[in-house]
Amino acid sequence: MGRRRSLADLSYGLVIGSLAALALLIIVAPVVIVLTTSFTEGRSLKFPPTGFSLQWYEALFDASKSRQIHRAVYNSLEVAAWSTGFGILFGSMASLGLARNRHRLARVADGLFMSPLVLPGLTFGLAALMYFTLIGLRPSLNLIIAGHMIVTVPFIIRTTSASISQLDPALNDSSQSLGASWFYTMRRVTLPLIAPGIFAGAFLAFMASIDNVPVSLFLSTARTDMLPIRMWGMMESTLDPRIAAVSGVLITAAFLLMLIMEWTVGLTRRMRD
Amino acid sequence: MRTMTPPSPDGAASPADGGGKRSVLAEWQLALPLALAFASIFLAPLLMLVGVSFFNDEKITQPGFGQWAKFLGDPFSYKVIADTMLLGLKTVCATIVIGYPLALIYLDASPRLQKVLIFIIVMPLLLSVVVRTFAWIVVLGREGVVNTLLLQLGIISEPLRLLQTELGLVISLTQIEMPLMLLPLISVMSRLDPNLRDASSALGASRWRTLFKVIVPLSMPGLVAGCLLVFASSTTAFISQTVIGGVRLIYLPLLIWQQSLVVFNWPFAAVVSLTLLVSVLTVVSALSYLGRRSGGYVHG
Q: What is the mean pLDDT of chain B?
A: 86
Q: Which of A119, A155, A130 is nearest to A219 (CA)?
A: A130
Which among B126, B227, B247 is the top mutation candidate for probing chain A, defined by the most A β-carbons within 10 Å of its own β-carbon?
A: B126
Task: Give the closest of B9, B27, B204 to A96, CB-based.
Answer: B27
Q: Is the pLDDT of residue B14 over 70?
A: no
Name the amino acid, one letter, at B166: E
Residue B17: CB atoms within 10 Å: 11
Task: Give the closest of A48, A101, A232 to B243, CB-based.
Answer: A232
| Cα A213 from chain centre | 12
Q: Closest residue of B to A177, CA-based? A: B15
What is the tens place of the pLDDT at every residue in B241-284? 999 988 889 999 999 999 999 999 999 999 999 999 999 999 98
Which among A130, A135, A148 is the top mutation candidate for probing chain B, defined by the most B β-carbons within 10 Å of its own β-carbon?
A: A130
What is the tens place of the pLDDT at every residue in A172-184? 888 888 888 888 8
- CB of A72 within 8 A of CB of A226? yes
Position B6 scores a pLDDT of 45
Domain locations in chain A as residue ranges: 55-272
Task: Give the closest of A16, A176, A251 to B104, CB-based.
Answer: A16
Residues of A in contact with B188 (CB under 8 A): none
- Distance of alpha carbon A178 from alpha carbon A201, whole angstroms: 32
Q: Which of A230, A214, A205, A225 is nearest to A82 (CA)?
A: A205
What angle is formed at CA A157 by the lines to CA A152 and CA A159, rounded to 5 degrees?
105
**DSSP 3-state of B57:** coil
Q: Which of B87, B41, B69, B47 is nearest to B254 (CA)?
A: B87
Asked if the A55-272 domain carries CATH number 1.10.3720.10, the reply is yes
CA distance A59 to chain B (A): 18
Packing angle of the helix pair B220-235, B75-108 (nearest 10 deg): 140
Which among B28, B34, B230, B239 is the top mutation candidate for probing chain A, defined by the most A β-carbons within 10 Å of its own β-carbon?
A: B34
Task: Give the closest of A112, A122, A211 to B276, CB-based.
Answer: A122
Averaged pLDDT for residues A80-108: 92
Position A235 scores a pLDDT of 86
Q: What is the pTM of this model?
A: 0.86
Task: Give the closest of A93, A173, A214 to B9, CB-based.
Answer: A173
A-B CB pairs within 8 A amount to 305
**DSSP 3-state of A112:** helix
What whole-number percentage of chain A has pLDDT above 70?
Answer: 96
Bridge partners of B63, per DSSP, are B55
- DSSP classification of residue A190: I
Q: Is the pLDDT of residue A48 over 80?
A: no
Asked if the C-beta of B96 comes within 8 angstroms of chain A's C-beta atoms, the answer is no
**DSSP 3-state of A240:** coil
CB-count exposure of residue A229 (10 Å: 0-12, 13-18, 19+): buried
| Sign of CA pseudo-dihedral B134, A239, A125, B251 | negative
Task: Give the closest of A100, A113, A149 to B8, CB-based.
Answer: A100
- Distance of alpha carbon A237 from alpha carbon A239, whole angstroms: 6
- CB of B192 within 8 A of CB of B215? yes
Position B8 scores a pLDDT of 44
- DSSP classification of residue A139: P
Q: Is the pLDDT of residue A266 over 80?
A: no
Name the amino acid, one letter, at B48: M
CA distance B297 to chain A (A): 25
What is the tens place of the pLDDT at every residue in A214-252? 999 999 998 899 999 999 988 887 778 888 899 999 999
Asked if the C-beta of B10 comes within 8 angstroms of chain A's C-beta atoms, the answer is yes
Q: Is the pLDDT of residue A65 over 90?
A: no
Sketch out chain B's domains with CATH numbers.
Answer: 57-126+180-299 (1.10.3720.10)
Position A102 scores a pLDDT of 82
- CB of A19 within 8 A of CB of B115? no
Contact B122 A103 (CB under 8 A): no
For chain B positions 170-209, those within 8 Å of chain A (CB to CB) are 171, 174-175, 178, 183, 186-187, 190, 204, 206-208
Position A271 scores a pLDDT of 64
Lowest-confidence pick of A126-135, A157-166, B38-47: A157-166
